[in-house]
Amino acid sequence: MRHSLLPALFCTGLVAATSLLTGTAATAAAPVPSAGPTSAVAEATAQATDVRERLDRIPGLTVVSQTTKEGFPYYTLTLTQPIDHEHPDRGTFEQRLTLWHKSETAPMVLYTGGYSLSSSTREITRLLDANQVSIEHRYFSQSRPATVDWNDLTVQQEASDEHAVVQALKTIYRAKWLGTGASKGGMTQVYHERFYPDDLDAVVAYVAPNDAANNDDSGYEKFFETVGTPECRAALNAVQREMLVRRDRMLPRFEATAEKQGLTFQYLGSADRAYEFSVLDQVWNFWQSGTYTDCPAIPDARTATDDELYTWSLGHGLSPYADQGNGAEGSGPYYRQAAAQLGWADLKFKHLADVRHYPGIYQPNSVLPADMRVGYDGRTIKDVDRWVATRGERMMFVYGQNDPWSAERFKPSKHDSMLFEAPNSNHGALISKLKPADRAAAEATVKRWAGQ
């Protein structure tokens, strides 16, 4: 069970633990696009002193640093947030965010990756030449109190955090506000819209899963029965099965990989349990990050040597779920949310029934330390699902045709809302990857919502 929101970072289910260890650092290395028009940079620079002074006057907001990005002012900030918005007397924590300033009169894009702070420039920010504020999700990375009560990590509390950010910055930025995010970040913006529908003028959510009925995984099951070609599906299933058939020879290789990388498996209980969990997730990860063009390279499970099978699998979806990535400092907060509210895909794996040793292992609590495990309550997610389908306004959903996370989707309402599917795309689906007519319609709609 992976979560995306991280190779490109995207989302829920269970994502490979080791892939989640890159937060802000991954975005820092991204290539820097060319600067905007000189006049726009000059205008932003002229406004910088005034904006800085106004930021300094916002209660609870601290300017940690100021630099430039592509010539425009770029601020690193913290905002003091209540641990519990319904009981503010319980204490506070500092939530991290960044602000990329273009113009006070330009639209504002509110972005969260759903995890640690990611300040990558979003697609609609470029499209609109907009300002962008990026928020670190509560209780991920540094945005947490010294002592964490994981019961405070809820979609409602994060929505209230973002509401506080919007209200604070609307004292400066009074043009249109659009929320966006991909995978878990897209989900987060949908939840924000549900609980504070007056904050944003529109939401553009990319590859946002919607596991409204956690005990019904038929959408995911159908996906794996239809994605790609019959030949590709059969080859992947055969490799996955053979990895368990040859468990006695593959497990030592898995343990050697773990030792080399300094990984342990106390949360899952043993290397054998971790190995089975990783094999179960292998096909999901293949489609999440790969494409149908990778299918011809799948080895023949009948003839591949042990080394060929293991090496190919390690590069195509076999990701160890280690303690080092799944605790409180890694992706543990995501798995806690999945176990508590977001839900997960509990696939049947019928083709593996006779070679599995741990039938109940494929769920988020399995990869968490004992003090982070929790029972599931789906009432909030069901409420959001109904609200989006009946009352949501100006909401756009972009999904990938070959993305497992896109198999269970939000259904937009008839209130100026819509859904697009990017052909042959995985968990990295974008508006720019849509069919030409759909792309034109989506971009025109986003610009209209932004008042352009």
pLDDT tens-digit series, residues 333-392: 999 999 999 999 999 999 999 999 999 999 999 999 999 999 999 999 999 999 999 999
Residue spans of the chain under pLDDT 70: 1-37
Q: Each residue of 207-223: b (16+ CB within 10 Å) or e?
A: bbbbbbebeebebbbeb
Beta-bridged to residue 63, according to DSSP, are 77
E strands, 23-152, are: 61-69, 72-82, 92-100, 108-112, 131-135
Q: What is the pLDDT of residue 78?
A: 98
Q: What is the pLDDT of residue 43?
A: 79
Q: What is the pLDDT of residue 29?
A: 34
pTM over cut 0.85: yes
DSSP, res 8: T
Q: What is the pLDDT of residue 40?
A: 83
Q: Which CA distances in Å does 95 have to 79, 187, 424?
A: 5, 19, 37
Q: What is the pLDDT of residue 137?
A: 98
Name residue 228's amino acid: G
Structure tokens at 184: 């878990």
Q: What is the pLDDT of residue 162?
A: 98
Q: What is the pLDDT of residue 23?
A: 32
Q: What is the pLDDT of residue 10?
A: 32
Name the one residue in this structure whose structure tokens are 């991280």. Answer: 6
For 74, other C-beta atoms within 10 Å of its C-beta total 18
Structure tokens at 176: 């249109």
Cα separation, 128 vs 52, whole angstroms: 23
Q: What is the pLDDT of residue 37?
A: 59
Q: What is the pLDDT of residue 332?
A: 96
Name residue 124's amino acid: I
Q: What is the pLDDT of residue 194?
A: 98
